[in-house]
Amino acid sequence: MLLATAGLAGCGAGEDADVAGVVTRFYTAVATTDGEAACAALAPDSRSEVVGTDPDGRACPQALLAPEGPGSVLVSRAADATVLEVRRAGGQAQVVTETDTVFLAVDGTSWVVTAVGCDPRGERPYDCVVEP
């Protein structure tokens, strides 16, 4: 599996690379079944949503990677999560990968994933498997 941020050379460097790095680390954690690291990349509200919607009441690391839950979508998207584009507006960001659109926000001094496993739906909001 190759996760890269190759498309970022022309993107205002620094902070765009930080944002892309969060997505790359998240999908690397998913691909290697490191639920702890994947959950650590999520915003607190998104972690709570993962736990709150798990029918078996599992903790975030297990619920996030569960094949009958978000894991079925996230694991397949991790296979090619190469970052193609980073868009930032203040404390919000959108990262487009080969297989996903990921939304992030600043939490304190770092970027966290707020929504992942997202598919566009034309003029309607994105449909995401993990969101707050």
Q: What is the pLDDT of residues 73-111, one digit of tens each?
A: 999 999 999 999 999 999 999 999 999 999 999 999 999
Q: What is the pLDDT of residue 14?
A: 72
Asked if residues 119 and 64 have their Cβ atoms less than 8 Å apart, the reply is no
Counting as low any pLDDT under 70, the low residues of the chain are 1-13
Return the CATH class of domain 6-130: alpha beta
**90 φψ region: left (φ > 0), alpha (ψ -120 to 50), beta (else):** left
Distance CA 60, CA 57 (A): 9
Q: What is the pLDDT of residue 33?
A: 97
Asked if residues 120 and 102 have their Cβ atoms less than 8 Å apart, the reply is no
Please state the domain extents for the chain: 6-130
Q: What is the pLDDT of residue 6?
A: 38
DSSP annotation string for 17-40: HHHHHHHHHHHHHHHTT-HHHHHH
Which residues, at least 6 apart from 109, have a Cβ–Cβ distance to it below 8 Å? Answer: none
Distance CA 128, CA 132 (A): 10
